[in-house]
Amino acid sequence: MDYYGETCKHQQHVVFGWVIHQNTFADGDTQFYGFYRNDVRMEKSDHFTMWVRGERIWNNAPDTLTDPFILAQRGNYVDKVDFAGRVFPRGVYTVKAVGEAENWCITSIYNDNKSPELQGTWLKPDETYQATKGDLLLIAIGNTSAGLGPIAIEVTSESLPIVAQTDTAIIKFSHRKA
């Protein structure tokens, strides 16, 4: 297994100046998730992975990882703030895709040791997201009234209703990279 797994498709994008990686997986594919030399509080981590489609399980993690919130099999985006106070024990982590899956990963190493705050929103078909002026949005997956993901949108009008036509994941960036 290499960093992106044997069948994982990897693409690097630049969104609002930030380098972000899109990874798509076949069922059962594994991916290197991270290596921590010390115990690390999640909010202090130098990277964050957002699962936008499918699910993952931990394929390899230290025996000292016992937090059920971190161990949970999960297929939806979880804001980094939800992980605040939780600790990844030192060690090597890999994940395994359950069904076809996709994640987006932002790492400070590729972004001059900085990262934006990110917020995730999930829409079901016919649901609407009301974007406002200044919003910086990445429609990671989904077909919407604003376009087919992945697509970056900067809202320049006072408001922009985005209507999902399929299951949609939207990632909101706090700011452009300076």
What is the pLDDT at residue 139? 97
pTM of the predicted protein model: 0.84
Closest CA to 141 of 81, 95, 76, 73: 76
Domains of the chain from N-terminus onward = 9-110 (2.60.120), 118-173 (no CATH)
What is the pLDDT at residue 159? 95
What is the pLDDT at residue 78? 62
What is the pLDDT at residue 42? 74
pLDDT-derived band at 33, boundaries 50, 70, 90: confident
pLDDT mean over 5-22:
86
What is the pLDDT at residue 2? 43
In this predicted structure, the answer to whether residue 128 has a pLDDT above a threshold of 50 is yes
What is the pLDDT at residue 57? 85
Side-chain-side CA neighbours of residue 164 (13 Å): 19
Q: What is the mean pLDDT of the chain?
A: 86
pLDDT mean over 20-42:
85
Beta-carbon contacts of 128 under 8 Å, excluding residues fewer than 6 positions away, are 161, 162, 163, 164
Please tell me the distance from the alpha carbon of residue 75 to that of residue 73, in angstroms, as a whole number. 7
Closest CA to 128 of 142, 144, 148: 144
3-state secondary structure of 135: coil
Beta-carbon contacts of 69 under 8 Å, excluding residues fewer than 6 positions away, are 83, 86
DSSP conformation class of 164:
B
